[in-house]
Amino acid sequence: MNQTQTSVNHRQIGHRIKEVREQNHISQAQLAEMTDLSVSYISHIENAKRKASLESIIRIVNALGITVDELLAGVQMNNPAAYQTDIDMLMEDCSENEKRFIYELIKASLETMHKNGWELASSDRHR
């Protein structure tokens, strides 16, 4: 199996942990206490400076009240949801005007592709 197909995007996992933690109004210190992990370890996982062990992942998802599937949603290779996570991360620091501009670019590109019958190498489109 190709290494790219088996690689794990630890940056996305860390981003997802932070996202869920913040949605639940839980600080890193609170999550650390709930999981019996250190605050610095939680920070390093969220910033992809360290790779979380499977045991740590289990502790974190249990503390956050989500499943491993929910945590990993968008992290798997060739998963259409992964692009949404990537797009969200790219647009994190954009102004509302920049986000709207990017949206309009994507929309216009798709309309042009469909209008002209253009298809990329892979024909399995997910709508």
What amino acid occupies position 16? R
Express each pLDDT in 86-125 by its tens digit. 777 778 888 999 989 998 998 999 899 888 888 775 444 4
- pLDDT (0 to 100) of residue 82: 58
Q: What is the mean pLDDT of residues 28-33?
A: 97
Express each pLDDT in 51-98 by its tens digit. 999 999 999 999 999 888 888 865 554 555 556 767 777 788 889 999
- pLDDT (0 to 100) of residue 72: 80
CA gap 89, 79 in Å, rounded: 16
pTM over 0.75: no
Kindly report the length of the chain. 127
3-state helix/strand/coil string of 16-39: HHHHHHHHCCCCHHHHHHHHCCCH
Tokens of 23: 């949605």
